[in-house]
Amino acid sequence: MAEVSSRALQMVDLVGQYRAIRAEILAAIEEVLESGQFIRGPIVAAFEQELAAYLGCRFALGVGNGTDALQLAFMTLGLRPGDEVIVPAFTFVATAEAAALLGIRPVFADIDPRTFNLDPASVEARLSPRTRAIVPVHLFGQAAELTPLLALAERHHLYVIEDNAQAIGATYRGQKTGTFGHIGCLSFFPSKNLGAYGDGGAVLTNDPALHERLSMLANHGARRKYYHELIGINSRLDALQAAILRIKLRHLEAYTQARQEAADRYDALLADCPGLTLPYRAPERTHVFHQYTIRVHPEVPGGRDGLQRYLKQQGIPTAVYYPVPLHQLPAFADFGPHDRLPEAEKAAREVLALPMHTELTSEQQRYITDAIRTYVETALRTGRPPTS
């Protein structure tokens, strides 16, 4: 039985998820093909409205991907070369890359070791007269500590851009993430909680003026075709992706629940396993478990990398999000020198994301957690990583 489970194991099962909604998806695709309207148009507009309604914000604008969403946010708020934005050092590269591409300096702050999200004290310590914005990332599906970050931003007249790529549907004090800041950014990369069948993203705002400027900048700086007022970019959600996302949005609450139930099962199965720290669920937040990320303590012989290798031999895929904190990446060297950030550096050495998706079964999870337990318990008892 374990053999069967291990063979079927994947970090994300996009095909399994598709098969369950195949008829709906194919009908939606057919509708787009028959409409002949592939860029923007009524299907994209309908998705934008449904997305905004789901999140509880005034405006959602579909764009090409989550990285463009961030770039458009910086452009829309008028950030310029030499300005500084404070971003967590422990996130996907795009959070800082989108700023750096515009000549904006990403200033890296450390994280709260429990949530992996921005530590407000570390942000405050990095404010300078050039700071223009704070970019909280709701990493792995759980909201950052928004109240102190928003207060800090207000006190220092800074913009807040939420990188909500990993946390669609998560809440903080009952409100959906992505709707707190001046602009929120979403990614519909296929493996995201709301994933397209290609690239896609969205920007969110409650401000009509920002929405108008975002719309222009995403469409060559024009309000009206061929009458360009600004230098913009070409970043639009296409109608096929919007049609697919409309279907999947209707299932999103069920998908989120499936992830949360899978996370609860991992918690229970690993509860008394030594040498690990399981995901922390911060108060007043709902975690949507884009990833289920554990920490492997350095005392475990072989450490995180040893466990990952062992699991791979058992047919269990895992992933390290992220092995190098951004302040240590060569790509950002020109924006340095960067401070050492001990918690981000420690997290990069210890984290391991387990398979997490809407189709994960308890049988598969038992197989995964039995293997983790065997490794950790054997390694701690014998002082050596076990060989398979």
Ligand X SMILES: Cc1ncc(COP(=O)(O)O)c(C=O)c1O
Q: Which residues bind ligand X (CB under 6 A)?
A: 65-67, 91-92, 94-95, 137, 163, 165-166, 187, 189, 199, 201
Let me know: does 240 contact 253? Beta carbons within 8 Å. no
Minimum distance between the CB of residue 290 and ligand X, rounded to whole angstroms? Answer: 8
Q: Is the dihedral of CA 76, 78, 80, 82 positive or negative?
A: negative
Q: How many CA atoms lie within 13 A of 54 on its CB side?
A: 20
Q: Which is nearer to ligand X, 91 or 364 (CB)?
A: 91
**Structure token digits, residue 74:** 């910086």
Let me know: does 259 contact 356? Beta carbons within 8 Å. yes
H-run or E-run covering 86: strand 84-88
Q: Please report, in angstroms and rounded to a whole number, the separation of the first and last CA atoms in the chain.
A: 18
Q: Which is nearer to ligand X, 198 or 317 (CB)?
A: 198
Distance CA 166, CA 191 (A): 10
Q: Which is nearer to ligand X, 275 or 325 (CB)?
A: 325
Q: In terms of C-beta density within 10 A (0-12 exposed, 13-18 middle, 19 or more buried), how is residue 211 classed?
A: buried
Minimum distance between the CB of residue 166 and ligand X, rounded to whole angstroms? Answer: 5
Distance CA 362, CA 253 (A): 20
Let me know: does 192 contact 12? Beta carbons within 8 Å. no
Minimum distance between the CB of residue 198 and ligand X, rounded to whole angstroms? Answer: 10
Residue nearest to ligand X (CB): 66
Minimum distance between the CB of residue 338 and ligand X, rounded to whole angstroms? Answer: 19
Minimum distance between the CB of residue 268 and ligand X, rounded to whole angstroms? Answer: 27
Q: Which is nearer to ligand X, 63 or 269 (CB)?
A: 63
Distance CA 307, CA 313 (A): 10
Minimum distance between the CB of residue 361 and ligand X, rounded to whole angstroms? Answer: 26
Let me know: does 94 contact 228? Beta carbons within 8 Å. no
Minimum distance between the CB of residue 306 and ligand X, rounded to whole angstroms? Answer: 26
